[in-house]
Structure 1
Amino acid sequence: MKRIINNIISIIFTLIKFSLIKLFHWNNFKFHIIERFSPNTDLYFIGKGRIILGKKVRAHTHVRLRAIKNGTIKIGNNTSFNYGCMVTALENITIGSGVEFGPNVLLYDHDHDFRTIGGLKEKKFKTGKIVIGDNAWIGANTIILKNTKIGKNCVVGAGSIITGDYPDNTIIVQKRQTTVKNIIPQT
Protein backbone atom coordinates (compact mmCIF):
# COMPACT_ATOMS: atom_id res chain seq x y z
CA MET A 1 0.00 0.00 0.00
CA LYS A 2 2.83 2.37 0.88
CA ARG A 3 4.46 1.73 -2.51
CA ILE A 4 1.23 2.58 -4.35
CA ILE A 5 0.87 5.83 -2.40
CA ASN A 6 4.50 6.75 -3.12
CA ASN A 7 3.98 6.08 -6.84
CA ILE A 8 0.86 8.26 -6.93
CA ILE A 9 2.66 11.08 -5.11
CA SER A 10 5.61 10.76 -7.50
CA ILE A 11 3.33 10.94 -10.55
CA ILE A 12 1.52 14.02 -9.18
CA PHE A 13 4.81 15.72 -8.28
CA THR A 14 6.21 14.99 -11.74
CA LEU A 15 3.09 16.37 -13.43
CA ILE A 16 3.38 19.62 -11.46
CA LYS A 17 7.13 19.91 -12.08
CA PHE A 18 6.82 19.16 -15.80
CA SER A 19 3.92 21.60 -16.18
CA LEU A 20 6.11 24.36 -14.74
CA ILE A 21 8.99 23.41 -17.04
CA LYS A 22 6.56 23.45 -19.97
CA LEU A 23 5.71 27.09 -19.17
CA PHE A 24 9.31 28.13 -19.80
CA HIS A 25 10.13 25.70 -22.62
CA TRP A 26 6.80 25.53 -24.46
CA ASN A 27 7.94 24.15 -27.82
CA ASN A 28 11.04 22.39 -26.53
CA PHE A 29 9.47 19.99 -24.02
CA LYS A 30 6.85 17.31 -24.62
CA PHE A 31 5.59 14.83 -22.04
CA HIS A 32 2.55 12.72 -21.15
CA ILE A 33 0.41 12.94 -18.04
CA ILE A 34 1.69 9.74 -16.43
CA GLU A 35 5.45 10.03 -15.98
CA ARG A 36 7.33 9.10 -12.80
CA PHE A 37 10.48 11.12 -12.15
CA SER A 38 12.27 11.48 -8.83
CA PRO A 39 12.19 15.00 -7.33
CA ASN A 40 16.00 14.97 -7.66
CA THR A 41 15.88 14.49 -11.43
CA ASP A 42 17.05 17.46 -13.51
CA LEU A 43 16.07 18.52 -17.01
CA TYR A 44 18.29 21.15 -18.67
CA PHE A 45 17.40 23.14 -21.76
CA ILE A 46 20.20 25.31 -23.11
CA GLY A 47 19.56 27.22 -26.33
CA LYS A 48 17.06 25.44 -28.57
CA GLY A 49 17.52 22.03 -26.94
CA ARG A 50 14.47 19.72 -26.96
CA ILE A 51 13.36 16.83 -24.77
CA ILE A 52 10.49 14.60 -25.91
CA LEU A 53 9.23 11.93 -23.50
CA GLY A 54 7.05 8.96 -24.43
CA LYS A 55 4.38 7.55 -22.13
CA LYS A 56 5.28 6.16 -18.70
CA VAL A 57 8.95 7.12 -18.68
CA ARG A 58 10.53 6.58 -15.24
CA ALA A 59 13.65 8.15 -13.75
CA HIS A 60 15.16 7.54 -10.33
CA THR A 61 17.22 9.90 -8.20
CA HIS A 62 19.92 12.08 -9.77
CA VAL A 63 19.03 11.37 -13.40
CA ARG A 64 19.95 14.31 -15.68
CA LEU A 65 18.62 14.95 -19.17
CA ARG A 66 20.51 17.79 -20.88
CA ALA A 67 19.52 19.14 -24.30
CA ILE A 68 22.12 21.74 -25.31
CA LYS A 69 22.13 24.16 -28.27
CA ASN A 70 20.12 22.34 -30.98
CA GLY A 71 20.32 18.95 -29.28
CA THR A 72 17.27 16.69 -29.09
CA ILE A 73 16.60 13.86 -26.66
CA LYS A 74 13.70 11.61 -27.67
CA ILE A 75 12.69 8.82 -25.29
CA GLY A 76 10.14 6.10 -26.12
CA ASN A 77 7.34 4.65 -24.00
CA ASN A 78 7.98 2.61 -20.82
CA THR A 79 11.68 3.44 -20.66
CA SER A 80 13.36 3.45 -17.25
CA PHE A 81 16.49 5.21 -15.98
CA ASN A 82 18.10 3.92 -12.80
CA TYR A 83 20.01 6.09 -10.31
CA GLY A 84 22.59 8.58 -11.58
CA CYS A 85 22.09 8.27 -15.35
CA MET A 86 22.97 11.26 -17.53
CA VAL A 87 21.94 11.90 -21.14
CA THR A 88 23.58 14.91 -22.84
CA ALA A 89 22.67 15.84 -26.41
CA LEU A 90 24.20 18.50 -28.63
CA GLU A 91 22.84 16.79 -31.77
CA ASN A 92 20.41 13.88 -31.35
CA ILE A 93 19.86 10.99 -28.96
CA THR A 94 16.92 8.67 -29.66
CA ILE A 95 16.01 5.98 -27.14
CA GLY A 96 13.38 3.39 -28.07
CA SER A 97 10.49 2.03 -26.02
CA GLY A 98 10.97 -0.42 -23.16
CA VAL A 99 14.66 0.39 -22.70
CA GLU A 100 16.11 -0.25 -19.22
CA PHE A 101 19.18 1.65 -17.98
CA GLY A 102 21.20 0.41 -15.03
CA PRO A 103 22.65 2.88 -12.53
CA ASN A 104 25.17 5.53 -13.60
CA VAL A 105 24.84 5.05 -17.37
CA LEU A 106 26.17 8.02 -19.39
CA LEU A 107 25.21 9.00 -22.96
CA TYR A 108 27.16 11.71 -24.83
CA ASP A 109 26.51 12.46 -28.50
CA HIS A 110 29.60 14.69 -28.67
CA ASP A 111 33.31 14.91 -27.96
CA HIS A 112 35.35 18.00 -27.19
CA ASP A 113 37.30 19.08 -30.26
CA PHE A 114 40.65 19.72 -28.59
CA ARG A 115 42.46 20.13 -31.92
CA THR A 116 40.89 23.49 -32.77
CA ILE A 117 42.99 26.60 -32.46
CA GLY A 118 42.68 27.61 -28.84
CA GLY A 119 42.08 24.05 -27.65
CA LEU A 120 39.41 23.05 -25.15
CA LYS A 121 38.71 26.60 -24.01
CA GLU A 122 37.11 27.29 -27.43
CA LYS A 123 34.25 24.92 -26.48
CA LYS A 124 34.09 23.29 -29.94
CA PHE A 125 32.54 19.85 -30.28
CA LYS A 126 32.33 16.95 -32.73
CA THR A 127 28.84 15.44 -32.68
CA GLY A 128 27.21 12.24 -33.89
CA LYS A 129 23.83 10.63 -33.27
CA ILE A 130 23.04 7.93 -30.73
CA VAL A 131 20.16 5.51 -31.39
CA ILE A 132 19.11 2.80 -28.95
CA GLY A 133 16.51 0.30 -30.19
CA ASP A 134 13.41 -0.92 -28.37
CA ASN A 135 13.74 -3.25 -25.36
CA ALA A 136 17.49 -2.83 -24.97
CA TRP A 137 19.04 -3.32 -21.55
CA ILE A 138 22.05 -1.14 -20.73
CA GLY A 139 24.13 -2.39 -17.78
CA ALA A 140 25.42 -0.28 -14.90
CA ASN A 141 28.24 2.22 -15.45
CA THR A 142 28.10 1.94 -19.24
CA ILE A 143 29.22 4.92 -21.35
CA ILE A 144 27.63 5.33 -24.78
CA LEU A 145 29.43 7.74 -27.11
CA LYS A 146 28.61 9.57 -30.36
CA ASN A 147 27.98 7.70 -33.62
CA THR A 148 26.45 4.70 -31.86
CA LYS A 149 23.50 2.57 -32.90
CA ILE A 150 22.38 -0.22 -30.59
CA GLY A 151 19.74 -2.50 -32.12
CA LYS A 152 16.49 -3.79 -30.66
CA ASN A 153 16.59 -6.33 -27.81
CA CYS A 154 20.32 -5.84 -27.18
CA VAL A 155 22.00 -6.29 -23.81
CA VAL A 156 25.07 -4.18 -22.99
CA GLY A 157 27.29 -5.56 -20.23
CA ALA A 158 28.05 -3.42 -17.19
CA GLY A 159 31.02 -1.08 -17.41
CA SER A 160 31.22 -1.08 -21.21
CA ILE A 161 32.30 1.90 -23.29
CA ILE A 162 30.27 1.74 -26.50
CA THR A 163 30.64 3.34 -29.92
CA GLY A 164 29.70 1.96 -33.35
CA ASP A 165 26.83 -0.12 -34.78
CA TYR A 166 25.44 -3.22 -33.09
CA PRO A 167 22.71 -5.35 -34.74
CA ASP A 168 19.41 -6.41 -33.15
CA ASN A 169 19.33 -9.24 -30.59
CA THR A 170 23.00 -9.14 -29.57
CA ILE A 171 24.87 -9.15 -26.28
CA ILE A 172 27.62 -6.54 -26.16
CA VAL A 173 30.36 -7.15 -23.59
CA GLN A 174 33.83 -5.68 -23.59
CA LYS A 175 36.64 -8.07 -22.82
CA ARG A 176 38.91 -6.86 -20.12
CA GLN A 177 42.25 -8.18 -19.12
CA THR A 178 43.54 -7.97 -15.60
CA THR A 179 47.30 -7.81 -15.35
CA VAL A 180 48.98 -8.47 -12.02
CA LYS A 181 52.69 -7.80 -11.66
CA ASN A 182 55.03 -7.81 -8.72
CA ILE A 183 56.54 -4.56 -7.64
CA ILE A 184 60.29 -4.83 -7.83
CA PRO A 185 61.90 -2.29 -5.50
CA GLN A 186 64.73 -0.23 -6.93
CA THR A 187 68.08 -0.71 -5.28
Structure 2
Amino acid sequence: MNTYKLYLISFLLPLIPETRGFSLKRKLYAFAGVILGENVRICSSVKIRGHGIVQIGDNTWIGHNVQIISSSKVVIGKNVDIAPSVYIGTGTHKIDVNGDRAAGEGYSAEVLIDKGTWICTGALILPGTIIKEMCVVAAGAVTSTTFEAFSLIGGVPAKLIKSLKS
Protein backbone atom coordinates (compact mmCIF):
# COMPACT_ATOMS: atom_id res chain seq x y z
CA MET A 1 0.00 0.00 0.00
CA ASN A 2 1.04 3.56 -0.51
CA THR A 3 1.17 5.27 2.89
CA TYR A 4 1.06 8.75 1.34
CA LYS A 5 -2.11 7.94 -0.60
CA LEU A 6 -3.66 6.36 2.51
CA TYR A 7 -2.89 9.57 4.38
CA LEU A 8 -4.50 11.64 1.63
CA ILE A 9 -7.72 9.63 1.53
CA SER A 10 -7.94 9.76 5.34
CA PHE A 11 -9.07 13.38 4.88
CA LEU A 12 -11.72 12.46 2.30
CA LEU A 13 -13.32 9.41 3.95
CA PRO A 14 -14.92 11.30 6.89
CA LEU A 15 -16.80 13.43 4.34
CA ILE A 16 -18.61 10.35 2.99
CA PRO A 17 -21.66 9.12 4.95
CA GLU A 18 -20.67 6.17 7.17
CA THR A 19 -22.76 3.50 5.44
CA ARG A 20 -23.16 5.05 2.00
CA GLY A 21 -20.87 5.70 -0.95
CA PHE A 22 -19.29 2.24 -0.87
CA SER A 23 -18.34 2.42 -4.56
CA LEU A 24 -16.45 5.69 -4.01
CA LYS A 25 -14.70 4.27 -0.93
CA ARG A 26 -13.62 1.20 -2.93
CA LYS A 27 -12.12 3.49 -5.58
CA LEU A 28 -10.27 5.53 -2.96
CA TYR A 29 -8.82 2.46 -1.23
CA ALA A 30 -7.88 0.90 -4.59
CA PHE A 31 -6.08 4.18 -5.44
CA ALA A 32 -4.07 3.72 -2.23
CA GLY A 33 -3.14 0.13 -3.12
CA VAL A 34 -5.66 -1.93 -1.15
CA ILE A 35 -6.69 -5.02 -3.15
CA LEU A 36 -10.49 -5.20 -3.13
CA GLY A 37 -12.99 -7.76 -4.41
CA GLU A 38 -16.44 -7.02 -5.76
CA ASN A 39 -19.08 -5.41 -3.54
CA VAL A 40 -16.75 -4.81 -0.57
CA ARG A 41 -18.48 -2.45 1.87
CA ILE A 42 -16.25 -0.40 4.15
CA CYS A 43 -17.66 2.12 6.64
CA SER A 44 -16.18 5.62 6.47
CA SER A 45 -14.68 5.49 9.99
CA VAL A 46 -12.50 2.45 9.13
CA LYS A 47 -8.74 3.09 9.37
CA ILE A 48 -6.41 1.14 7.07
CA ARG A 49 -2.78 2.03 7.70
CA GLY A 50 0.74 0.79 7.04
CA HIS A 51 2.94 -0.19 4.13
CA GLY A 52 1.98 -3.87 3.98
CA ILE A 53 -0.47 -5.66 1.71
CA VAL A 54 -4.20 -5.64 2.48
CA GLN A 55 -6.46 -7.86 0.39
CA ILE A 56 -10.23 -7.97 0.96
CA GLY A 57 -12.49 -10.53 -0.76
CA ASP A 58 -15.87 -10.18 -2.47
CA ASN A 59 -18.99 -9.24 -0.49
CA THR A 60 -17.10 -8.46 2.71
CA TRP A 61 -18.46 -5.96 5.25
CA ILE A 62 -16.10 -3.92 7.45
CA GLY A 63 -17.94 -2.04 10.20
CA HIS A 64 -17.56 1.21 12.10
CA ASN A 65 -14.19 2.10 13.66
CA VAL A 66 -12.35 -1.03 12.50
CA GLN A 67 -8.55 -0.63 12.35
CA ILE A 68 -6.39 -2.62 9.96
CA ILE A 69 -2.69 -1.91 10.52
CA SER A 70 -0.47 -3.82 8.10
CA SER A 71 3.30 -3.92 8.03
CA SER A 72 3.12 -7.40 6.50
CA LYS A 73 0.07 -8.97 4.82
CA VAL A 74 -3.60 -9.08 5.81
CA VAL A 75 -5.87 -11.30 3.72
CA ILE A 76 -9.60 -11.15 4.41
CA GLY A 77 -11.62 -13.70 2.41
CA LYS A 78 -14.94 -13.32 0.67
CA ASN A 79 -18.25 -13.02 2.54
CA VAL A 80 -16.55 -12.01 5.80
CA ASP A 81 -18.37 -9.76 8.29
CA ILE A 82 -16.25 -7.61 10.60
CA ALA A 83 -18.24 -5.87 13.35
CA PRO A 84 -17.44 -2.43 14.81
CA SER A 85 -14.26 -1.65 16.75
CA VAL A 86 -12.26 -4.69 15.63
CA TYR A 87 -8.45 -4.35 15.50
CA ILE A 88 -6.42 -6.33 12.95
CA GLY A 89 -2.65 -5.86 13.12
CA THR A 90 0.48 -7.52 11.78
CA GLY A 91 3.20 -5.85 13.86
CA THR A 92 4.37 -6.58 17.39
CA HIS A 93 7.53 -7.05 19.49
CA LYS A 94 9.43 -9.91 21.03
CA ILE A 95 9.45 -9.82 24.83
CA ASP A 96 12.90 -8.86 26.14
CA VAL A 97 13.12 -8.43 29.91
CA ASN A 98 16.93 -8.31 29.76
CA GLY A 99 17.02 -5.06 27.79
CA ASP A 100 16.01 -1.51 28.63
CA ARG A 101 12.36 -2.24 27.94
CA ALA A 102 10.13 -5.29 27.79
CA ALA A 103 9.11 -4.53 24.18
CA GLY A 104 12.12 -5.94 22.37
CA GLU A 105 12.83 -6.30 18.68
CA GLY A 106 9.85 -5.58 16.44
CA TYR A 107 8.57 -8.05 13.86
CA SER A 108 5.59 -8.66 11.58
CA ALA A 109 3.48 -11.74 10.93
CA GLU A 110 0.66 -12.19 8.43
CA VAL A 111 -3.04 -12.39 9.30
CA LEU A 112 -5.51 -14.57 7.37
CA ILE A 113 -9.27 -14.46 7.88
CA ASP A 114 -10.88 -17.03 5.59
CA LYS A 115 -14.23 -16.94 3.78
CA GLY A 116 -17.56 -16.67 5.56
CA THR A 117 -16.07 -15.75 8.94
CA TRP A 118 -17.77 -13.35 11.35
CA ILE A 119 -15.54 -11.26 13.62
CA CYS A 120 -17.69 -9.81 16.43
CA THR A 121 -17.38 -6.40 18.08
CA GLY A 122 -14.14 -5.45 19.78
CA ALA A 123 -12.13 -8.53 18.82
CA LEU A 124 -8.35 -8.15 18.53
CA ILE A 125 -6.79 -10.10 15.67
CA LEU A 126 -3.06 -10.12 16.43
CA PRO A 127 -0.04 -10.97 14.23
CA GLY A 128 0.18 -14.58 13.09
CA THR A 129 -3.56 -15.27 13.41
CA ILE A 130 -5.05 -17.69 10.89
CA ILE A 131 -8.83 -18.08 11.08
CA LYS A 132 -10.07 -20.71 8.66
CA GLU A 133 -13.45 -20.60 6.89
CA MET A 134 -16.86 -20.09 8.50
CA CYS A 135 -15.64 -19.27 12.02
CA VAL A 136 -17.24 -16.95 14.55
CA VAL A 137 -14.88 -14.90 16.72
CA ALA A 138 -16.76 -13.78 19.86
CA ALA A 139 -16.91 -10.16 20.98
CA GLY A 140 -13.74 -9.06 22.77
CA ALA A 141 -11.72 -12.16 21.87
CA VAL A 142 -7.95 -11.81 21.43
CA THR A 143 -6.58 -14.14 18.74
CA SER A 144 -2.93 -14.92 17.96
CA THR A 145 -2.85 -18.51 16.66
CA THR A 146 -4.49 -20.80 14.08
CA PHE A 147 -8.14 -21.83 14.34
CA GLU A 148 -9.75 -24.60 12.30
CA ALA A 149 -12.79 -24.10 10.05
CA PHE A 150 -16.29 -23.97 11.55
CA SER A 151 -15.10 -22.92 15.02
CA LEU A 152 -16.64 -20.67 17.64
CA ILE A 153 -13.67 -18.82 19.12
CA GLY A 154 -13.68 -16.65 22.25
CA GLY A 155 -11.80 -15.48 25.30
CA VAL A 156 -8.55 -13.81 26.28
CA PRO A 157 -6.47 -15.43 24.97
CA ALA A 158 -8.89 -16.85 22.40
CA LYS A 159 -9.52 -20.58 22.35
CA LEU A 160 -11.94 -22.96 20.68
CA ILE A 161 -15.29 -22.80 22.46
CA LYS A 162 -17.00 -25.34 20.22
CA SER A 163 -17.18 -26.67 16.70
CA LEU A 164 -20.02 -25.19 14.66
CA LYS A 165 -20.21 -28.17 12.32
CA SER A 166 -22.26 -31.13 13.52
Provide TM-score, normalisation by structure 2. Answer: 0.72
Match of 1:137 in 2: 118
Q: Deviations over 1:124-145 (max 9, x none)?
A: 5211111011000000000000
Match of 2:36 in 1: 53
Q: Is the 8 A contact 2:93 2:103 kept in 1?
A: no
Identical columns (%): 23
**Displacement of 1:14:** 3.2
- 1:82 pairs with 2:63: yes
**Cα gap change, 1:13 to 1:113, in 2 (>3 Å):** same
Unaligned stretches of 5+ residues in structure 2 = 1-16, 158-166
Match of 2:50 in 1: 67
Query: Among 9, 14, 23, which residue is 2:25 paired with?
Result: 14
RMSD (Å), alpha carbons? 2.9
Match of 1:44 in 2: none
Match of 1:150 in 2: 131
**Shift >6 Å, 4+ stretches:** none
Q: What amino acid is the match of 1:141? A: G
Q: What amino acid is the match of 2:72? A: E
Aligned pairs for 1:77-116 (under 5 A) are: 77-112=58-93, 115=96
Query: Among 149, 156, 160, which residue is 1:168 paired with?
Result: 149
**Cα gap change, 1:175 to 1:143, in 2 (>3 Å):** closer
**Cα gap change, 1:12 to 1:77, in 2 (>3 Å):** closer
Q: What amino acid is the match of 2:43? A: H
Provide TM-score, normalisation by structure 1. Answer: 0.64
Equivalent-residue separation in structure 2 for 1:103 and 1:158 (angstroms): 10
Instruction: Give the number of aligned pairs.
Output: 139
**Cα gap change, 1:117 to 1:94, in 2 (>3 Å):** same
Q: Which has the higher contact order (CA 8 A, sep 6+)?
A: 2
**Cα gap change, 1:112 to 1:76, in 2 (>3 Å):** same
